[in-house]
Structure 1
Amino acid sequence: MSRLAAGVVLITALDPEDDPVVDGDGSGHGGGSANGGGPGDGGVGAAGADLEVPTGEDAGMTATAFMSVSLDPPLVMVSVRNESRMDDILERQPLWAVSVLTESQRNIAGQFSMKGRLSDRLLFASVPHVRGEKTGAALVKGALATMECRTEQRVVAGDHTLTIGRVLTAHTPNVERDPLTYFRGRYRKLA
């Protein structure tokens, strides 16, 4: 599989707070899940478009297995290693974002591909970004394109989980730039 060329994206989400959220009627909702349910409710068939923007700590992951799935409705898919930090977050948090990186953003891809990180706070401090209006997730400034997504379905496929998300917003501010690609274990630029 490493012989296939792939575009490089940064997947971001807000890691939900572990403390229960108390709503107006005083009932607690476990896990701080954005859809008001208990832990894990952010998976298959996540709640409707009226979700509140979540709170929590920024988390990010470089991904090379990302693709468009459908135009109507607009769906995209990212493949995430099972039991990774991002897999855990996407299981609990239905709102996430994608920044399609340019070849000049190779350093960002490298930073967010490091394994074993407990926090991404310092990494995000050095990456220029804005907050998504629908997800609250970080969107990298200068990216080729950005999308905000809501999980529609999660499918376990071997040692990875395919997270399919409905695109809530999409922007292509830098279509004239070249995308960052990954081929044979290295970041490359298009010839």
Structure 2
Amino acid sequence: MKLLKELIHPELASRTGRTFRRHAARGIVLREGRILLLFTERYNDFSLPGGGVDEGEDIQAALKRELEEETGARDVQVQAHYGFIEEYRPHWKPGYDLMHMTSHFFICDVAPELADARMERHEIANGMKPVWIDIFEAMHHNRQVMTRQEQTMGQSIQRETFMLEKISRELVVRTA
């Protein structure tokens, strides 16, 4: 397993204190010059599909479950573990000072057609939708949101944009 980056949110004063620990699995799905991402209206950003690993759940099983729920992906085939990011940021739950999240990224393939997504209530409320998009277009969009420091900008945009940049350099063959 390869550490890709450690991210410390700029509003986090210290990495000590009561820590909420979370593990996540996220999918990298590339096809014909496009990448499968989630666009979230609330935050106006693109992110890799995936989410939290439940207590006792196998990380690849969590990845497949999350891809199916968020994007409607079927027949998820995990090709390789690409690496992980350690992230420290403020936490909103009472009783905690910060969140320490480890996000594992996996290169995957999925069936050609997506079924209907089965989003959670908060994902629907946030306007989250799966999209196939050119990775360079998604990176440009996220960079613009960060440059403008939009009021609705989410805490994960730095992680997601870093990953899109890394994937574009290492996994995407650019044509033109």
TM-score normalised by length of structure 2: 0.29
TM-score normalised by length of structure 1: 0.27
| Greater per-residue helix proportion | 2
**Could you say which structure has the greater relative contact order, defined with CA pairs below 8 angstroms and 6 or more residues apart?**
2
